[in-house]
Amino acid sequence: RFHGPGAGEAAERHFNIVTRDRGAPEEIPLVVLAPGDPVHLPAVLVDHLGVASRSEARRLIQQGAVSLDGEAVREADVARARLDGAVLKAGKRRFARLRVTP
């Protein structure tokens, strides 16, 4: 009623993809990473995905709740080459597409 007839269908499609099918949403925010190798993943999670603290980010990594392109990440420092173009997922509903600057 307030958002138009297509908004409800789009919200349902988003819910089905992310929650029911456990996939990535159609629109994922882009995160451009600054130069430096390796990339400290807890800092990226705090700065760009809304994780409360680096301690919480490290716990998510240790528990296997952080993944790159669907593959669980177990280390806090990741090589930049592995991150370029990857989809970072933290928990069930936090997503970001990563780009690496030269």
Distances (CA, A) of 58 to 7, 20, 27, 99: 36, 26, 26, 22
Look up residue 92 and give its amino acid.
K
Q: Summarize pLDDT for 35-92 with one digit per residue, the tens.
A: 777 899 999 999 999 999 999 999 999 999 999 988 999 999 999 888 888 999 998 8
pLDDT in the model for residue 43: 93
pLDDT in the model for residue 23: 66
Beta carbons of 85 and 98 less than 8 angstroms apart:
yes
pLDDT in the model for residue 21: 64
For the ranges 21-25, 30-34, 60-64, 66-70, the one whose mean pLDDT is highest: 60-64
